[in-house]
Amino acid sequence: RIAYVNGAYVPLAGAAVGIEDRGFQFADGVYEGIAVRKGRLIDLEPHLQRLWRSMGELDMDAPMAVGPMRLVLSEVVRQNRIADGFLYVQVTRGEARRDHAFPAFSRPSLIVTCRRFDYDAVFTRAATGVKAKSVPDIRWGRCDIKSISLLPNVLAKQAARSEGAFEAVLIDTDGNVTEGSSTNVWMVDGTNTLITRATSDNILPGITRAVLADLAAEHQVRVDTRPFSLEEAYQARELFLTSTTSGVMPIVALDGRTIASGRPGPLAGRLLAAYKTHMDSCP
Ligand code: PMP
């Protein structure tokens, strides 16, 4: 496998950045995860826009202009001969003598990796759905920034996995669902309205979330962007997750409570079909 590291395409085994990289010491960096389907980067432009926004919010210099970045990303896909995969892009503030404050001079560091990922296996899993577990959301106040500082997300996901659940559903201090540890969360209420939390500083504006909102509108499905409580989620007609690697993934049990019939609902099924078509029609 080949990685891109600060200007060079190198074998992944042995690829390295310095131990004084601020990403390593302070988690002072941002990232993107992009789906590769049939060799194409899915929703590349919104991912690049979100990356630039994350860098801007942290006053971080871009490691290169957006045009060269597009070339680097497709070159990593090409060199790894990936048809279906997951591309990871990380930018940090670079290497500098350890000090919390921004260094006067540092070159941002850029790494890009790509591995195979089986979306068809995910779509198969969506036919039965997954279990989830609620976990208190203990993250910081800027979850809209796609920061590599992911310890609360890591701990939440592990708390779920250790109980056999696929995802952790994060709950804020008001008892409302924010999002998943690496996904956005949606519910369908008794009137077949889709409900998902509005984007603000407490959730990541998911690219899959935005695509799904568009697809819902195209399919004449009502979308209400508002917070919903864990209690509402338990009573939902349907509950599902969206993300780059999960697509549209039904939750059939939450905290051991069966959601609706315990089988994926029809709306999630329709939206997944629409999302697959979207993936296949990306340029
Ligand atoms: N929320 C969080 C916290 C995430 O980490 C992710 C995935 N990176 C998402 C939501 C889903 O975002 P996307 O649809 O862009 O993959």
* pLDDT recorded at residue 230: 98
Identify whether residues 87 and 177 lie together within a single domain: no
> Whole domain around residue 202: which residue ranges?
123-281
* pLDDT recorded at residue 282: 86
Give residue 209 CA to ligand 1 midpoint distance, Å.
9
Ligand 1: residue whose CA is nearest its atom 6: 182
Q: What value of ipTM does the predicted structure carry?
A: 0.99
Q: State pLDDT tens for residues 209-250.
A: 999 999 999 999 999 999 999 999 999 999 999 999 999 999
Residue 253's pLDDT band (boundaries 50, 70, 90)?
A: very high
Q: State pLDDT tens for residues 263-282.
A: 999 999 999 999 999 999 98
The residues annotated with a catalytic role in the active site are: 146
Domain tally, the chain: 2
Identify whether residues 89 and 178 lie together within a single domain: no
Convert 37-104 into a string of H (helix), E (strand) and C (coil).
ECCEECCHHHHHHHHHHHHHHCCCCCCCCHHHHHHHHHHHHHHCCCCCEEEEEEEECCECCCCCCCCC
Identify whether residues 237 and 175 lie together within a single domain: yes
Tokens standing for residue 213: 């909102």
Q: State pLDDT tens for residues 52-63.
A: 999 999 999 999
Among 117, 140, 170, the domain-final residue is: 117
Characterize 63-90 residue by residue with b for buried, 16 or more Cβ atoms within 10 angstroms of its Cβ, and e for exposed.
Answer: beeeeebeebbbebbeebebebbbbbbb
Give residue 180 CA to ligand 1 midpoint distance, Å.
8
Ligand 1: residue whose CA is nearest its atom 7: 182
Q: State pLDDT tens for residues 169-211.
A: 999 999 999 999 999 999 999 999 999 999 999 999 999 999 9
- What CATH number is associated with residue 68? 3.30.470.10
